[in-house]
Amino acid sequence: MPDILLQTHSYLRYFVMIMLLIVVAKSIAGWGGNRPYTGVDNKLGLYLVIFTHLQFLAGIILYFISPLVQFNAGTMKEDLIRYWTVEHAFAMIIAIALITAARSTARRVPDDRAKHKRLAVFNSIALILIVGTLAMSGRGII
């Protein structure tokens, strides 16, 4: 079970990253080009949130069964254990909150350009946070 869950979590990151890149690119283009916010934009944002929340679900289960997550006196002293116990989890929760907030608040904004702007800003920050945190792992981003 843990191996399947770890593989699922590993593969889902590609879907999240691809969807995040697409949503950021489309929202920047929509914001800069003053394009209408279409049903395609809405569905892409929805799929991004779905993949992100599936990734979170797999990650939270892994968090509680992983041997790399430890709660003891040495957790903060050892880089690898601290990364998986604190840094990765904290940064990803913030990124998930940004992605979710981008979609949920953009839906309530009446102006199309403002919707694109909100999606571009929130999701870009989430993308930078995710890439930076994955780079800290020492395993690479891809």
CB 43 within 8 Å of CB 57: no
Closest CA to 88 of 142, 134, 23: 134
Residue 109 — pLDDT band, cuts 50, 70, 90? Answer: very high
Instruction: Assign 3-state DSSP to the chain and report helix, strand, coil percentages, each to 5.
Output: 80, 0, 20
Rg (CA), the chain: 17
How many angstroms separate the CA atoms of 76 and 81, rounded? 7
State pTM to two decimals.
0.91
* Residue 98 structure tokens: 């940004």
User: 6 vs 100, which has greater pLDDT?
Assistant: 100
* Residue 45 structure tokens: 């944002």
How many angstroms separate the CA atoms of 113 and 28, rounded? 10
- Give domain limits for the chain: 2-136
Average pLDDT over residues 134-139: 83
DSSP annotation of 130: H
CB 68 within 8 Å of CB 84: yes
pLDDT digits (tens, 9 = 90+) for 51-108: 999 999 999 999 999 988 999 998 999 999 999 999 999 999 999 999 999 999 998 9
Closest CA to 116 of 130, 101, 100, 102: 102
Percent of the chain with pLDDT over 90: 84
